Amino acid sequence: MDHNESKRNIREDILAAASDLMMRKGVKETSLKDIANEVGISKGTLYYHFSSKDDMIFEIADKHLTQVTDDLEKWVSNIDNNASFEQILTMVIERVSNLETRGNHE
């Protein structure tokens, strides 16, 4: 594993731990120290990868939004071409509603 791959894996580990802790404890109650401890790194290493908790939150939100958008694009591309706009919109709203209540368990 090269240095860049190792760096990327640590970032992914940090994001996964931050996401999990924030879902369990809440965003405000999750500290950078909690996240660093969960990953098994120092706060200094955490700061090397993310300058703030807000940066982590932004990246987590961006990843989730990208995943939802990709899923919806795949799903919409398989919709019957004869479906009305209202039918498609209703299905999309139901799909998004299901995603929001499901949470991220990956």
Torsion angle (degrees, nearest 10) of CA 13, 64, 73, 87: 150
Q: How confident is the model at residue 105 (pLDDT cuts 50, 70, 90)?
A: very low
pLDDT above 50 (res 106) = no
Residue entry with tokens 């931050």: 18
Domains in the chain, please, with CATH?
3-102 (1.10.357.10)
Q: How confident is the model at residue 75 (pLDDT cuts 50, 70, 90)?
A: confident
Q: What percent of the chain has pLDDT over 90?
A: 50
Across 30-42, average pLDDT = 95
For the whole model, what pTM was predicted?
0.65
Please give the angle made by the CA atoms of 25, 37 and 47, to the nearest 5 degrees: 100
Chain-centroid distance, C-alpha 104: 8
Q: How confident is the model at residue 99 (pLDDT cuts 50, 70, 90)?
A: low
